[in-house]
Amino acid sequence: MNHFFEDSVFFGVTLSFLSYGLGVLLKKKLKLGILNPLLVSIVITVIVLVVTDMDYEIYYNGAKYISYLLTPATVCLAIPLYEQFEILKKNVAAILAGILSGVLTSLSCILAMVLIFNMNHKQYVSLLPKSITTAIGMGVSEELGGYVAITTAIIIITGVFGNVIGEFVLYIFRIKEPVAKGIALGTASHAIGTAKAMELGEIEGALASLSIILSGIITVGFAPVFAQIH
């Protein structure tokens, strides 16, 4: 089976798009939070690779082209922020405090978990960038000497988890302010959480977009400090 797809440059891209499209279709039809399109596409892709006994490298040789769009897609999130710039100016202190507290809480929770489960340093630094976008998180993990592959997986899991349960958590804690919703989703679950924030409203999406940028910058600054603790 590997030889059949070795010459197909676009097999990985095709599989990724088809599985994601199916995820979008299922989400719209069944309207279940667990049916996050990204989660569905990951499950389908894994099943296909396992059933066909295909080497991951063969799949990745085609799918890697999608990753080239990750950074420009992240930059494009500045557009909704620009459209809501007046709200940003009116709430700048609260926004910065919310993002900073979110980043420090994330890093502190990782430190606590590592101490509880007695993980080694390399595993620890691999988990530190879990709540920032992959484009930044991979660089942070590599710089700190972590497992970049694990970091990528953890970032995706964090984003999907935030997308799936984020709205429910906001409801449980009765968070109704759009600015607070956007900051919470963007800081905790980066771009995938921002997708959920955009579903909730324009203000939520704009503030989540800002949170991705600032939480990434703050994490780049604080992650090396936390890395020295363990």
pTM, full prediction = 0.82
Q: How confident is the model at residue 38 (pLDDT cuts 50, 70, 90)?
A: confident
Which of 24-38, 79-93, 167-181 is most confident?
Answer: 167-181
203 DSSP assignment: H
pLDDT (0 to 100) of residue 6:
56
Residues 6+ positions from 191 with CB-CB distance below 8 Å: 73, 74, 77, 133, 134, 159, 212
Identify which has the larger pLDDT, 10 or 129. 129
Are 128 and 140 in contact, with CB atoms under 8 Å apart? yes
CA distances in angstroms from 74 to 119, 139, 187, 201, 221, listed in the order given: 32, 15, 14, 18, 20
Residues 6+ positions from 126 with CB-CB distance below 8 Å: 141, 146, 147, 148, 150, 151, 154
pLDDT (0 to 100) of residue 9:
64
For the stretch 86-122, pLDDT in tens is 888 888 999 999 999 999 999 999 999 999 999 999 9
Question: What's the CA gap between 109 and 106, in Å, rounded?
Answer: 5
Q: Is 147 helix (H, G, I), strand (E, B) or coil?
A: coil
Letter string b/e over residues 106-145, b meaning 16 or more CB atoms within 10 A of that residue's CB = bbeebbeebeeeeeeeeebbbbbbbbbbbbbbbbbbeebe
| Residue-range domain boundaries for the chain | 2-68, 75-227
Percent of the chain residues topping a pLDDT of 70: 96
Task: Taking residues 64-78, report their average pLDDT.
Answer: 76
For the stretch 198-229, pLDDT in tens is 889 989 999 998 999 899 999 999 999 999 98
For the stretch 131-148, pLDDT in tens is 998 888 999 999 999 999
Are 110 and 154 in contact, with CB atoms under 8 Å apart? no
**Total residue length of the chain:** 230
